[in-house]
């Protein structure tokens, strides 16, 4: 498990990460979302000891990363797939990591096979495509067979088959009880991959919910109703609105779009009134829609000047030289 307690990072007057408190648990894929400049990469770097918190702490299985004797055996990470010597072969790069951590060379061949690079293992990495770099980075993260895995944009540069491979891989790792913490800007893919979602904006926590709850509870979700009993619709609408906090629209004759009620509540109301229904279904918002709604006031580099909580976007990347948020 990864534990964050009031994790904060400042660069001068700019707050990149602002008091994050989270428990990232094992046995599920936790997706990490936020606009550019939100502090995602900074958070991951602090978890891995690459940046030091201004306040708070980041622990892995109850310990800071820096205290681990053989961290690669406990935590696997992919932050920058191209962080290797381009003249080294894929196998040579992994063998160097393995030797420095007491890992058998046979494990190198095993992970190269797992990521689909066995046939190009002796080719210089400098000739690799971005997708091949990503696969090699995943291999490095898996090398020590760790219980905790951190991936920053692992599907960047992968073709559709590669994207599906990463999805299946991380879900299988989580199914084994491992902790998987994954960032991505591909909303549709994240919706298929993650069990839990953590969303931040301007360094602050905006949401920490199971995927299903986040989508179902969104104000953008609705219930669609279609009935041949058009004359009974006003009565049904009145019943649905009786308890307040509901929005009902009628886009066409015999149709309703209901927000603020569940399918069960709408169905029960129609049943009590004897209204026949030809259609009754939940219309869930997409992750992209929910994400855009949550982060609307947290966009760092929008087309206009974004203001949130009285604070104008400050441009974190302009004040950093290394590890800037992508």
Residue 5 pLDDT class (50, 70, 90 cuts) = very high
φ/ψ region of 235 (left if φ > 0, alpha if ψ in -120 to 50, else beta) reads alpha
Same domain, 193 and 311: yes
111 within a domain of the structure (yes/no):
no
28 within a domain of the structure (yes/no):
yes
Same domain, 165 and 36: yes
130 within a domain of the structure (yes/no):
no
Nearest CA to 22 out of 159, 145, 175, 205 is that of 205
pLDDT of residue 317: 36
Residue with more model confidence, 297 or 13: 13
> In this model, does residue 291 exceed pLDDT 80?
yes
- Sequence-distant (≥ 6) Cβ neighbours of residue 213 within 8 angstroms: none
The pair of structure tokens assigned to 259 is 């927000």
Asked whether the beta carbons of 279 and 225 are under 8 A apart, the reply is yes
Phi (first) and psi of residue 309, to 5 degrees: 60, 30
Same domain, 240 and 276: yes
pLDDT of residue 308: 38
Same domain, 279 and 159: no
Residues 65-73, mean pLDDT to the nearest whole number: 91
Same domain, 70 and 48: yes
Residues 48-69, mean pLDDT to the nearest whole number: 94
The model's pLDDT over 164-218, given as tens digits with 9 standing for 90+, comes to: 999 999 999 999 999 999 999 899 999 999 999 999 999 999 999 999 888 877 8
Same domain, 33 and 162: yes
Nearest CA to 30 out of 213, 190, 216 is that of 190
- The CATH number of the domain holding residue 249 is 3.30.70.100
Asked whether the beta carbons of 216 and 222 are under 8 A apart, the reply is no
> In this model, does residue 325 exceed pLDDT 80?
no
Burial 26-36 (b: 16+ CB within 10 A, else e): bebbbbbbbbb
Same domain, 150 and 272: no
Same domain, 271 and 298: no
Same domain, 170 and 250: no
pLDDT of residue 302: 60
> In this model, does residue 96 exceed pLDDT 50?
yes
Interaxial angle between packed helices 130-142 and 160-175, expressed in degrees from 0 to 180 and rounded to the nearest 10:
10
Q: Please give the tally of structural domains in the chain.
A: 2
Same domain, 264 and 301: no
Asked whether the beta carbons of 77 and 48 are under 8 A apart, the reply is yes
H or E segment and range at residue 263: helix 263-273
- The CATH number of the domain holding residue 304 is 3.40.50.300
Please name every residue paired with 150 in a beta bridge, in sequence order, or none if there are none.
Answer: 77, 181
pTM for this entry = 0.79
pLDDT of residue 300: 63
Nearest CA to 8 out of 182, 200, 196 is that of 200
277 within a domain of the structure (yes/no):
yes
273 within a domain of the structure (yes/no):
yes
84 within a domain of the structure (yes/no):
no
Same domain, 190 and 155: yes
95 within a domain of the structure (yes/no):
no
Same domain, 59 and 152: yes
295 within a domain of the structure (yes/no):
yes
Range of the domain at 262: 222-283
């Amino acid at each position: 498990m990864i534990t964050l307690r009031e994790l904060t990072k400042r660069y001068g007057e700019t707050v990149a990460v602002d008091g994050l408190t989270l428990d990232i648990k094992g046995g599920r894929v936790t997706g990490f979302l936020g606009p550019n400049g939100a502090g995602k990469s900074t958070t991951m770097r602090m978890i891995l000891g690459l940046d030091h918190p201004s306040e708070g702490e980041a622990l892995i299985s109850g310990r800071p990363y820096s205290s681990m004797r053989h961290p690669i055996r406990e935590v696997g990470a992919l932050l920058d797939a191209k962080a290797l010597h381009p003249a080294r072969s894929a196998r040579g790069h992994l063998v160097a990591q393995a030797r420095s951590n007491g890992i058998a060379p046979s494990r190198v061949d095993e992970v190269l096979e797992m990521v689909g690079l066995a046939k190009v293992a002796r080719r210089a990495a400098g000739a690799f495509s971005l997708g091949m770099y990503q696969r090699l980075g995943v291999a490095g993260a898996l090398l020590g067979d760790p219980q905790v895995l951190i991936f920053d944009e692992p599907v960047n540069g992968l073709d559709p088959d590669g994207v599906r491979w990463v999805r299946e891989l991380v879900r299988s790792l989580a199914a084994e009880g491992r902790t998987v913490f994954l960032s991505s800007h591909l909303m549709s893919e994240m919706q298929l991959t993650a069990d839990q979602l953590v969303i931040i904006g301007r360094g602050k926590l905006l949401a920490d919910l199971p995927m299903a709850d986040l989508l179902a509870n969104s104000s953008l979700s609705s219930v669609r109703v279609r009935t041949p009993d058009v004359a009974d619709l006003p009565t049904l609408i009145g019943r649905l609105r009786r308890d307040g906090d509901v929005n009902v629209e009628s886009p066409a004759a015999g149709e309703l779009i209901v927000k603020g009620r569940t399918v069960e509540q709408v169905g029960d109301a129609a049943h009590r009134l004897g209204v026949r229904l030809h259609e009754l279904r939940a219309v869930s918002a997409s992750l992209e829609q929910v994400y855009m709604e949550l982060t609307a006031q947290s966009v760092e580099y929008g087309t206009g000047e974004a203001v949130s909580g009285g604070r104008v976007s400050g441009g974190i990347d302009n004040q950093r030289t290394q590890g800037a948020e992508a």
